[in-house]
Amino acid sequence: MSNDPNQDPNSGYGNPPYGIPPQGPYNQPPNPYGPPPQGPYGQPQGPYGPPPQGPYNQPQGPYGAPPYGQPQGPYGYPPQGPFGVPPYQQPGYGYVPPPVAPLPLGEAIRRLPQQYIKVLTKPSAATFAEEMGKAAWNIVWVQLLALAVITAVLGYLASLIGSGIMPMTTSSTVPMNPAMLQGVRLGSSFGQIIAVPLSFFIGVGILYLIARAFGGQGTFLAQGYTYLLFEVPLGIVTSLLALIPILGGLVAIAVGIYALVLQIFSIMAVHRLSGGKATLVVFIPVIVALVLACIVVAIVIAVIAASHPRP
C-alpha cells in the first residue's frame, strides 16, 4: 500500500480513480489485444464461447428473435402444431397451414371454381387443409342449393331421354296416362331439391361420428365444406353423364371411385388422421351398406322361392 498522502484511497490495487473498474462487453475485462471477437451475423462474442442460441439450437437475432423472420409463438417459442413441432414440419396427415378466415359470401362464391379445380387436380390432404379454414355455413348452403337445383334439372332431362328410349307402360295394352307419367318424372326429379341436402347431412354426419370415434379432431362444418369442394363438381359431372345411355353409367362408376379417394384425403386433413384410419372411416359405411344390400337380396330371393314352390 502506498504511503503517498495525495493518492486517492480508491486508486489502490491497480484500480483507476473513483474505484470503478473498466467494463468490457458482457461485463468482462477488456481485451488487451484488440476488439472483442465477433460471432456470426456480427454479434459480439463473449470469452466463453459463441453467443446464446435460440430454440432448437438456432442462432438468435440481435433482440432475441429467431433469424430470417421465423414466426414465434407464446413466450418466444416457435408455433406448435398438434404433434409438438412447428406446423410446416408436420407429417403429411397432420399438415396444419396458417389459419385462414372465412371469406365474404360474394368473394367465396367467386373463388369456388378455382377451389374445385385445385381439389380435383391436386388431390392431397395438404390441399384440403389449405381450404378448410374458409368453411362457413353460408357458402355451404349456397353450394347445397345449387347442387340440388342442377341435379333436379339434369335428372328431369335424363328421364325424358330415357323415356324416349324405353317408353313406360303399365302393360302391353294399357299405356300409362301421359299426365301421370309427367307427374312422376317431375316428382322424382325435383325431389332432389330435398334429397340432396338431406343426404348431405346424413352422410357427412355418419362419417363425422366414425372419424371422431377414431380420434378425429375436426368439426362438422369443416368436414362438410371440404366434402362439397369435390362433391359439387363431381355430382354435376355424374348428372351430365346420366344423359348418355350406358356409357355414362360406366364413366360414373369411375367418378364415384375417385370421389372416395378425395373423401379419404378430406378426412385426413380435417380430422388429422392417418391414411389408414381415414380409409377405414370412409369404407366402413360402404361395407355396411353392401352387407345390408346382400342380406336384403337374399331375403327377397328366399321369399320369391318360398312363394313359388317347385312342382
Q: How far is CA 58 from CA 40, 50, 201, 253, in A?
A: 12, 12, 48, 53
Q: How far is CA 42 from CA 50, 61, 62, 159, in A?
A: 12, 10, 9, 77
Q: Max alpha carbon distance in the chain (Å)?
A: 143
Helix 247-271, helix 220-241: angle, nearest 10: 170
Q: Please write the tens of the pLDDT for every residue from 281-305.
A: 999 999 999 999 999 999 999 888 8
For residue 178, is it left (φ>0), alpha (ψ between -120 and 50) or beta?
alpha
Report residue 59: phi and psi, to 5°.
-65, 145
Q: What is the pLDDT of residue 187?
A: 72
d(CA 111, CA 151): 21
Q: What is the pLDDT of residue 230?
A: 96
| Whether residue 262 has pLDDT greater than 90 | yes
- Count of CB atoms within 10 A of residue 163's CB? 15
Cell 430470417 locates to 68
The pTM for the full model equals 0.64
Q: Which residue has the higher pLDDT, 255 or 2?
A: 255
Residue 72: exposure state from Cβ atoms within 10 A (0-12, 13-18, ≥19): middle
Q: Summarize pLDDT for 78-116 with one digit per residue, the tens.
A: 444 443 433 433 444 445 555 677 889 999 999 999 999
Q: Is 198 helix (H, G, I), strand (E, B) or coil?
A: helix
Q: Where do we find the cell 471477437?
A: 37
Nearest residue to 114 via CA among 122, 102, 126, 125: 122
Question: What is the Cα–Cα distance from 131 to 124, expressed in whole angstroms?
Answer: 11
Q: Indicate if the pLDDT at residue 259 is higher than 80.
A: yes
- d(C-alpha 251, C-alpha 258), whole Å: 11
